[in-house]
Structure 1
């Protein structure tokens, strides 16, 4: 009796079952009319018989309250209203009929109505079945497409994993080995560091001056990288790198990348500081300082401490904003010039540098030179 949605607790189950058995015995005609008690209990006596769609209904009685089911009353009212409407329609269409003929026509129309409702129900059920089959077919097709896409992606990934490194030619590294990936990133950041230095140290329309600044930064970074790699090689046990030359190359390339990343942060801070002392930044700071100092709430005492503090804060903010703008615009200008020069000299593929790679020494005494 403790079914979900019935709002009936286990403590009321015995009384509800007793009432149900009493009603069912009365319908049967008493205990004497029950020939097979066990079969009667399972098939009729204990079975809940809802008279409507409400789960709390049992023979038109609410299981939770014991009162008459309102839903059943509504259903009965609707049936009675339809029956009355059918009688009215017959009286209007066929006036003067005898009672017996009138009942026969009423019953025939009721049967026709029930048959129509059954046909509509069957049609609705068929539509539900078709829609369910359509959804299942769509799900199956989607699953098949997903599986196909997965297989295609797996095959493409397998092909990619089989590619040799574009830079060093090492096989089956998905087109780029770990060490060369670090080297590429290091090269990109080296160029970016040089551009940061050129934003304040070079004449932006003089390519030779820009190249000289970038070359100087590159030389400084290469020296820092060699120093960092030398310190790493000195920190490991002798012969430790011989067991895994590929891993050693990756580690040293990563050391180089970390060195350049640290330098990039320092160069950026330096560039911001230098650009903060340019004429553009100074002029914008002075303009904002005067504007803030002359606001109406400071006009009575523009030289006071509050006015000076507010104007100084606004000027510093304006200077920072101007410095960021100068850095962004100058970097964009320098990158455009760098891209133009890079496009004029196409990069050589690794297959064209095999003779150079083959000439490299692989003994541990020159590991630093090889990896760098």
Structure 2
């Protein structure tokens, strides 16, 4: 037997004329070829081999595949098979067995073929055996059943129920023209046609309405997209508000980095105050000045090192180096603060609690050493989580206090407005005054005040 795509080469001009229409496997194909060779007495026919990797999928139609005598045809059908596998995986998900689903589909199509011979193997495989057949819009449906769970398709059942309801309405309308207790078939078909036309007209109206709504949404989206693009273009065309560099979206990279350095310095000062500046006002001021001095010194050192490399250094590069140095210094300061809080009472209590809890689960580990190692790891993680929580709480307290101070420093606009209102509704000043001579002061009071008149509004 000569096999195409196998070890032996095909003979030129050999074409099988077998009419294969019933299901069979590789053994059935071999027995068929053996019978053909015994009856004809001639050379064996050419038989195409199933491509590697698709043996399980194409096993039901191996005899039909064997009649694909051209290499280009086999490559084309193989591409279609792989496309159908990808379609099934895309619709049903990667958890389903796409090869099993396509194999069952091919087996079902071949069973439907029955004893009718397959005269066009390529057309039958591509046009009838491999495609999915469904009347409903559900992509998981094939012949009225779900491909993923093999259950009946609910969408197809709804279509069937709609058809039954349509026929019931047509029958109800046709009962008015009953003759001798029997419904005239022509009247029933006419009423059914009218019902179908009404249903089609209402469906067309719904589709038109849906199309109008879709076009309206698309128009709104296009307007919003155009407005956003115009706003974005206008924003990008703005000059830098600090140095005036054009087309920088309001802030160039250099000014942004410089501003970020100031923000990082402020964050470092907050971390230092929350960690070391809680003793008093003097301690706080000392921590603030020392932290800001160290931070600025690290930034200046980074810029100096960059300039020491020689060559032309852009201002943007120096600003970037300053920002990176500030970020590194802030990170080191945060790690120092966390390490300090990690060995205080709150974090230590959390460490002991988690370690004891994990050691009570030591029976889940293979040995006591493994349990102790796991407990130590969990306890250390809990310790540093508690340290982070303490630092965040202190930072929140520091920032809230600063916000309160800033709010108190701002003028109270309500109090000012109230004062203006009171000045407007205050009664007018008197037109005359009365001079009242005060009585003699008691002993010990200066005599210069004696006889000083006091002006009192009458």
* TM-score where L is the length of structure 2: 0.45
Distance 1:140 1:180 in 2: 45
Change (3 A) 1:152 1:326: same
* 1:330 equivalent in alignment to 2:394: yes
* 1:173 equivalent in alignment to 2:173: no
CA contact (8 A) 1:161 1:172 kept: yes
CA contact (8 A) 1:195 1:331 kept: yes
Could you tell me which runs of 5 or more consecutive residues in structure 1 were left unpaired when the two chains were aligned. 15-52, 57-77, 94-105, 242-247, 299-303, 347-372
Task: Please give the secondary structure, in 1, of the residue aligned with 2:245.
Answer: coil
CA contact (8 A) 2:359 2:372 kept: no
Change (3 A) 1:140 1:293: closer
* 1:221 equivalent in alignment to 2:295: yes
Cα deviation, residue 91, structure 1: 3.7
Distance 2:300 2:234 in 1: 36
CA contact (8 A) 2:298 2:329 kept: no
Change (3 A) 1:129 1:333: same
Could you tell me which runs of 5 or more consecutive residues in structure 2 were left unpaired when the two chains were aligned. 1-63, 65-79, 81-104, 121-134, 136-142, 144-166, 411-458
Change (3 A) 1:212 1:278: same
Change (3 A) 1:225 1:341: farther
CA contact (8 A) 2:265 2:292 kept: yes
Cα deviation, residue 230, structure 1: 1.4
Could you list the per-position Cα deviations for residues 324-370 of structure 1 after superposition, in whole angstroms to 9, with x for gaps in the alignment?
22112111112223344566789xxxxxxxxxxxxxxxxxxxxxxxx
Distance 1:117 1:305 in 2: 82
Cα deviation, residue 186, structure 1: 1.9
Distance 2:254 2:224 in 1: 32
Cα deviation, residue 130, structure 1: 1.4
CA contact (8 A) 1:229 1:256 kept: yes
Could you list the per-position Cα deviations for residues 282-307 of structure 1 after superposition, in whole angstroms to 9, with x for gaps in the alignment?
45556777x66997999xxxxx9999
1:187 paired residue number:
262
Compare relative contact order (CA 8 Å, sep 6+) and give the higher one, 1 or 2. 1
Cα deviation, residue 313, structure 1: 6.3
Q: How many residues align?
A: 247
Q: What is the root-mean-square deviation in Å for CA atoms of aligned residues? A: 4.3
1:115 paired residue number:
190
Distance 1:121 1:313 in 2: 73
Task: Please give the secondary structure, in 1, of the residue aligned with 2:247.
Answer: coil
Change (3 A) 1:208 1:157: farther
* 1:264 equivalent in alignment to 2:330: yes
1:68 paired residue number:
none
Change (3 A) 1:126 1:332: same
Distance 1:323 1:115 in 2: 83
2:215 paired residue number:
140
Cα deviation, residue 279, structure 1: 4.1
CA contact (8 A) 1:191 1:214 kept: no
CA contact (8 A) 2:359 2:375 kept: no
Cα deviation, residue 148, structure 1: 0.3
Distance 1:158 1:175 in 2: 12
Distance 1:343 1:256 in 2: 32
Distance 2:330 2:340 in 1: 15
Could you list the per-position Cα deviations for residues 151-189 of structure 1 after superposition, in whole angstroms to 9, with x for gaps in the alignment?
110121122123332333434321211112112222222
1:23 paired residue number:
none
Cα deviation, residue 263, structure 1: 1.1
2:119 paired residue number:
13
Could you list the per-position Cα deviations for residues 45-101 of structure 1 after superposition, in whole angstroms to 9, with x for gaps in the alignment?
xxxxxxxx9xx9xxxxxxxxxxxxxxxxxxxxx9xxx9xx98xx64448xxxxxxxx
Q: Which structure has the highest helix share of the two?
A: 1
Cα deviation, residue 259, structure 1: 0.3
* TM-score where L is the length of structure 1: 0.54
Task: Please give the secondary structure, in 2, of the residue aligned with 1:326.
Answer: helix
Change (3 A) 1:217 1:118: same
CA contact (8 A) 2:264 2:326 kept: yes
Change (3 A) 1:202 1:133: same
Could you list the per-position Cα deviations for residues 258-282 of structure 1 after superposition, in whole angstroms to 9, with x for gaps in the alignment?
1011112211111112223334444
